Copies of this chain bind each other. A is one copy, B any other.
């Protein structure tokens, strides 16, 4: 099956830099992009779609979320962090059943598709349920089952480690490679050193990717220093964790030395501006990390601390809050912020076949309807995307060559049924 999108603006890349083709053509064959150009291709296509007045962009990649937490959206908002976690989130999480996880994941996927996210990296329990939702929905994802250990049990007996390995064997590269399984350590403060060392070795042996929380809050960062005499980044390095490609979610409180470690080991710094602002965590040193050559990506964190999964909101925040914090309007440029949400996210996910609209890549394509008051005039594509556009401007989301969302309609998930099931979960949870 070959489809040609005609008369659309197309955000593509040339020599590694974003460039916009105006009123151009993009052709796909099954799951791949086979043509991008200003001229109509001579080749014959099965289907021609007139996309006048629309802009095609690469699908956004959400680098860090906990998708089932949508069922806890808004629960205990505006408490201090301690009370929010211990009085609201943990007790509710403790009651979650497989069905709550599935409805939460479906809610998350609905929102992500409607707002232009085509791939996401997730960390949550009940990972097999999340995996089934990913496979059924058609979206792309890297999922991790976070390991933790509070007691002094043997690492090889930790049931989370076992689950993580089972998932890896059962699901890695499944669904035409849409689904991959990452390794995941929840955080330094929720594991023993023995577990971190053991599990990091497992990850390296299996050539896996590692996904973890690191230096999200000042308290966490400083308590690690008090506990181990070193920062979380130095701790993970010394435990061998960084011998696998690692994504360190948040990286707010990393020191100069930490950033040097991250650069040396190719650790991705995963930025979650909404969550960092809402929870009062602070401002990650994006500009410094960028200058040191660290791969910086963008994500939403879970809906409980955001409270949504809208990558356009994160694009906007990442584009402006650092200017405000540094008191300099030139700190963040749209070409960099947009790369965080696309190209850099593909690097984090270990996927070289997504992240941009270029010939040969997978057809993970999002269309923006430019006929909106706030997108007129559209003087410069990247500025429009980072400063003016909304997630709701997305009019089509295609993953792996398949349209999963178009003009308000979801093709693979029953939205109304999901809302009804979410109400049931909320009633059960008593939140």
Give residues in A with beta carbon < 8 Å to B. 70-71, 73-75, 77-81, 84, 107-108, 110-111, 114-115, 218, 274, 276-283, 303, 306-310, 313, 316-317, 319-321, 323-331, 333-334, 371-374, 376-380, 383-384, 387-388, 390-393, 415-416, 418-419, 422-423, 426, 431
Determine the chain B residues whose CB is within 8 A of the CB of A415 once the complex forms: 371, 373
28 A-B pairs within 8 Å (CB atoms) are namely: A70-B373, A74-B377, A74-B379, A74-B380, A78-B329, A78-B333, A79-B329, A80-B330, A81-B329, A84-B329, A108-B373, A111-B373, A111-B374, A114-B372, A278-B323, A278-B324, A280-B327, A281-B327, A282-B327, A283-B324, A308-B387, A308-B388, A309-B374, A371-B416, A371-B419, A376-B418, A390-B390, A391-B392
Determine the chain B residues whose CB is within 8 A of the CB of A111 once the complex forms: 372-374
What residue in chain B is nearest A306 (Cβ atoms)? B387
- A429 to nearest B CB, angstroms? 9
8 new A-B contacts, CB < 8 A, other than A74-B384, A111-B372, A282-B327, are: A74-B380, A84-B329, A107-B376, A276-B324, A280-B331, A307-B384, A321-B321, A390-B390
| Partner among B84, B334, B373, B392 whose Cβ is within 8 Å of the Cβ of A78 | B334
| Partner among B313, B329, B383, B422 whose Cβ is within 8 Å of the Cβ of A280 | B329
CA distance A378 to B390 in the complex (A): 21
Instruction: Let me know if B110 and A279 touch, CB within 8 A.
Output: no
| Partner among B77, B321, B383 whose Cβ is within 8 Å of the Cβ of A74 | B383
Q: If the complex has contacts A282-B324, A329-B84, A334-B77, are A373 and B277 also in contact, measured as CB distance less than 8 A?
A: no
Instruction: Let me know if A426 and B377 touch, CB within 8 A.
Output: yes
Instruction: Let me know if A279 and B329 touch, CB within 8 A.
Output: yes
CA distance A74 to B381 in the complex (A): 9
Determine the chain B residues whose CB is within 8 A of the CB of A334 once the complex forms: 77-78
CA distance A420 to B237 in the complex (A): 57
Determine the chain B residues whose CB is within 8 A of the CB of A79 once the complex forms: 329-330
Determine the chain B residues whose CB is within 8 A of the CB of A392 once the complex forms: 390-393
Determine the chain B residues whose CB is within 8 A of the CB of A81 once the complex forms: 329
Instruction: Let me know if B390 and A310 touch, CB within 8 A.
Output: yes
CA distance A377 to B73 in the complex (A): 6
Instruction: Let me know if A324 and B379 touch, CB within 8 A.
Output: no
Instruction: Let me know if A280 and B324 touch, CB within 8 A.
Output: yes
Q: Nearest 8 A-B pairs (CB), nearest first?
A: A392-B392, A277-B324, A110-B373, A277-B320, A111-B373, A307-B387, A308-B374, A280-B329
Instruction: Let me know if A307 and B388 touch, CB within 8 A.
Output: yes
Q: Which of A278, A303, A331, A416 has the most CB of B within 10 A?
A: A278
CA distance A345 to B328 in the complex (A): 29
Determine the chain B residues whose CB is within 8 A of the CB of A280 once the complex forms: 323-324, 326-331
Q: If the complex has contacts A79-B330, A308-B387, A392-B392, are A324 and B74 also in contact, measured as CB distance less than 8 A?
A: no
Determine the chain B residues whose CB is within 8 A of the CB of A380 once the complex forms: 74, 77
Instruction: Let me know if B281 and A378 touch, CB within 8 A.
Output: no
Instruction: Let me know if A376 and B419 touch, CB within 8 A.
Output: yes
| Partner among B75, B282, B377, B393 whose Cβ is within 8 Å of the Cβ of A71 | B377
CA distance A303 to B313 in the complex (A): 17
Determine the chain B residues whose CB is within 8 A of the CB of A317 once the complex forms: 317
Instruction: Let me know if A320 and B379 touch, CB within 8 A.
Output: no
Instruction: Let me know if A373 and B77 touch, CB within 8 A.
Output: no
CA distance A103 to B123 in the complex (A): 48
CA distance A291 to B366 in the complex (A): 45
Instruction: Let me know if A377 and B306 touch, CB within 8 A.
Output: no
Determine the chain B residues whose CB is within 8 A of the CB of A110 once the complex forms: 373
CA distance A282 to B328 in the complex (A): 9
